[in-house]
Amino acid sequence: MNTLRHTVTTVRPSVLNVGGNSKTIPLPSMFNGYEHVLLDIDPKGSPDLLCDARELQATPAARYNAIYCSHNLEHYYRHDVKKVLAGFVHVLKPHGFAHIRVPDIMAVIKTVMERNLDIDDVLYQSPAGPIQVSDVLWGWSRQIERSGVDFFAHKTGFSRPSLTKMLTAAGFQAVYTEVGNLEISAFAFLRPPDEATRTRLGLPLKV
């Protein structure tokens, strides 16, 4: 007797890691099980897509379930941020989302004033060494000097309201943000997420 076997192929969701430098740097646990696609302008990290994020609209549409963009958006001039976010909207699937992390410039300013810091004073200690106020505002000077390239420089900055405004203007219908540790963390959805998604990502019931 012949036995018919039906094989179900499970397609993993995919996340586009924009400006993530290297796949050796782990993604947040929310992306466990996702196919990790790395996009970077620097070939040293062997990205899957050697590409400037401003050119995302020239790539295939509706391809990824999620985007992860950690401390990369501030490396573009403000008018170019609009191009990058338009590219995010272009490559995300209809129910996709972007998780974006950027320095919280308003929190930096507040800390500088409260602690009476100068531009070259140490703002905080990181695993890579001391980070000065100027490093957060304009980019990590040691990395810029060592690399010899200016795409490591910071060219703009964000407050919580300004980031939300830019994400909404780009076409994201639901934007959730939180602040802490001199950082803004945002989840931006093309369509309002369902309860299961909000629960999985630890988001509030309302924007």
* Structural domain total, the chain: 1
Which structure tokens are listed for 79?
């008018």
Within a domain: 111: no
Within a domain: 68: yes
Q: Residue 75 sits in a domain of what CATH number?
A: 3.40.50.150
Q: φ, ψ for residue 46 (rounded to 5)?
A: 50, 55
* 203-to-71, 95, 164, 186 alpha-carbon distances in Å: 21, 16, 15, 10
Could you tell me which residues are beta bridge partners of residue 35?
Answer: 14
- Structural domain for 182, as ranges: 14-103+152-201
pLDDT at 155: 97
Within a domain: 164: yes
Q: φ, ψ for residue 192 (rounded to 5)?
A: -55, 130
pLDDT at 1: 44
Within a domain: 22: yes
Within a domain: 171: yes
pTM of this prediction exceeds 0.85: yes
Within a domain: 5: no
Within a domain: 147: no
Within a domain: 76: yes
For 5-33, the pLDDT digits (tens) are 544 456 899 999 999 999 999 999 999 99
For 88-124, the pLDDT digits (tens) are 999 999 999 999 999 999 999 999 999 999 999 999 9
For 115-153, the pLDDT digits (tens) are 999 999 999 999 889 999 999 999 999 888 888 888 889
